[in-house]
């Protein structure tokens, strides 16, 4: 999650929400008693995230939607040089572009194509003033393992992502870094996002797939090598307080040095 919100994180608010005047709506608890399945929660989505770290740095991310599709992500920080935004462009219901804008010359433009099953099968990334490249995406029979590969590169240079029950459980990055994750059984903030399952396997410059898990990450371990037998590069743990409607309010991230980053969520039904 440390990069969940600093690149795509993965938002000025133009989202129209239904607010409740009932004071119990905003009450917090330290544990969610169950995974919410009530259809009354099916449209809940985050509209703002405030990120604060141990060094005193902060960031506010605001999400704009059309229905349950994100159309813009805008980040503001005390240092305006750190500000950025992403525009998400759709053709019909399919996301076909994610374009990242920051300082002049730092723009990153990304386009997607789809296969006959409606899954992303390639994406092209253009880093302004740098380079442009295309990567192909393939899936195994049950869509639990996804391979991302640059055409012409050896298979050993591919990135491999494994998903289970709507969550990212393993990720091998070009045979150099290996990530593992564990989860709780509660509602993740973006659980209700349209196209969530399509975007979960896509790890790219402009798409941080951590954003699209179904449940909440409890641990993330990064190994400096191709598997869990490699030396650990870094490790993160996550603790949650919840709203009374069963979604995270505050996420507390700790790294191996006990540095802490908090993520405070506002939702469209607050």
CATH assignment at residue 81: 2.40.160
pLDDT tens for 83-138 read: 999 999 999 899 999 999 997 778 999 999 999 999 999 999 999 978 999 999 99
Residues 6+ apart with CB under 8 A from 144: 162, 163, 164
Would strands 217-223 and 177-183 be described as parallel, antiparallel, or unpaired?
A: antiparallel
Closest by CA position to 53, among listed 256, 262, 236, 255: 262
The gap between the terminal CA atoms of the chain, to the nearest Å, is 24
Q: Which residues pair with 122 in a beta bridge?
A: 113, 136
pLDDT band at 157 (very low <50, low <70, confident <90, very high): confident
Q: What's the pLDDT score for residue 28?
A: 40
Q: For residue 3, tell me if it sits in a domain.
A: no
Closest CA to 244 of 25, 47, 17: 25
Residue 4 is assigned to a structural domain of this protein: no
Decide if 198 is inside a domain: yes
Alpha-carbon span 139 to 113, nearest angstrom: 14
- Determine which helix (DSSP H) or strand (DSSP E) holds 196, and give its type and residue range: helix 196-199
Residue 95 contacts residue 88 (beta carbons within 8 Å): yes
Looking at the structure of the chain, the number of domains it has is 1
Query: For 57-61, 77-81, 101-105, 236-240, which range has the lowest pLDDT when averaged over its residues?
Result: 101-105
* 2 within a domain of the structure (yes/no): no
Q: Would you say residue 105 lies in a domain?
A: yes
Question: Does the pLDDT of residue 14 top 70, yes or no?
Answer: no
Beta carbons within 8 Å of 170's beta carbon, 6+ residues apart: 160, 161, 162, 178, 179, 180, 181
User: Is residue 190 scored above 50 in pLDDT?
Assistant: yes
Domain holding 105, by residue range, is 23-267
Greatest CA separation for the chain: 59
Question: Which of 28-42, 168-182, 207-221, 245-259 has the least mean pLDDT?
Answer: 28-42
pTM of the model: 0.83
Asked if residue 239 belongs to a domain, the reply is yes
Q: If you ran DSSP here, which 8-state letter would residue 210 be given?
A: G
Inside any domain, residue 6: no
Average pLDDT rounded to a whole number, residues 204-232: 91
- Report how far residue 236's alpha carbon sits from residue 255's, in angstroms, rounded to the nearest whole number: 4
Specify the pLDDT at position 6.
Answer: 33
Distance (Å, whole) CA 109 – CA 5:
18
Residues in the chain: 270
Average pLDDT of the chain is 85
Strand ranges for the chain from DSSP E: 28-29, 46-53, 58-66, 69-76, 84-91, 94-101, 108-114, 120-127, 132-139, 145-149, 159-164, 167-173, 177-183, 217-223, 232-243, 248-255, 260-267
Asked if the structure places residue 1 within a domain, the reply is no
pLDDT of the residue at 16: 30
């Amino acid at each position: 999650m440390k990069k969940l919100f600093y690149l795509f994180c993965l938002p000025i608010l133009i989202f129209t929400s239904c607010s409740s005047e009932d004071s119990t709506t905003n009450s917090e608890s330290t544990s969610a008693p169950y995974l919410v399945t009530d259809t009354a929660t099916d449209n809940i989505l985050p509209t703002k995230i405030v990120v604060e770290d141990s060094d005193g740095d902060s960031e506010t991310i605001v999400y704009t939607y059309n229905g349950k599709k994100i159309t813009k992500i805008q980040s503001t920080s005390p240092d305006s040089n750190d500000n950025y935004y992403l525009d998400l462009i759709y053709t019909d219901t399919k996301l076909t572009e994610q374009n990242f804008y920051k300082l002049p010359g730092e723009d990153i433009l990304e386009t997607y194509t789809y296969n006959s099953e409606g899954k992303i099968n390639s994406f092209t990334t253009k880093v302004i003033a740098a380079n442009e490249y295309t990567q192909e995406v393939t899936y195994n029979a049950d869509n639990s393992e996804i391979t991302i590969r640059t055409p012409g590169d050896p298979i050993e240079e591919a990135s491999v992502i494994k998903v289970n029950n709507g969550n990212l459980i393993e990720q091998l990055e070009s045979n150099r870094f290996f990530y593992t994750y564990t989860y709780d059984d509660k509602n993740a903030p973006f659980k209700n996002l349209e196209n969530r399952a399509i975007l979960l396997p896509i790890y790219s410059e402009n798409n941080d797939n951590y954003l699209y898990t179904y449940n909440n990450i409890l641990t993330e371990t990064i190994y400096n090598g191709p598997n869990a037998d490699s030396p650990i590069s870094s490790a993160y743990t996550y603790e949650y307080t919840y709203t009374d409607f069963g979604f995270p309010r505050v996420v507390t991230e700790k790294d191996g040095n006990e540095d802490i980053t908090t993520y405070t969520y506002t939702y469209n039904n607050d």
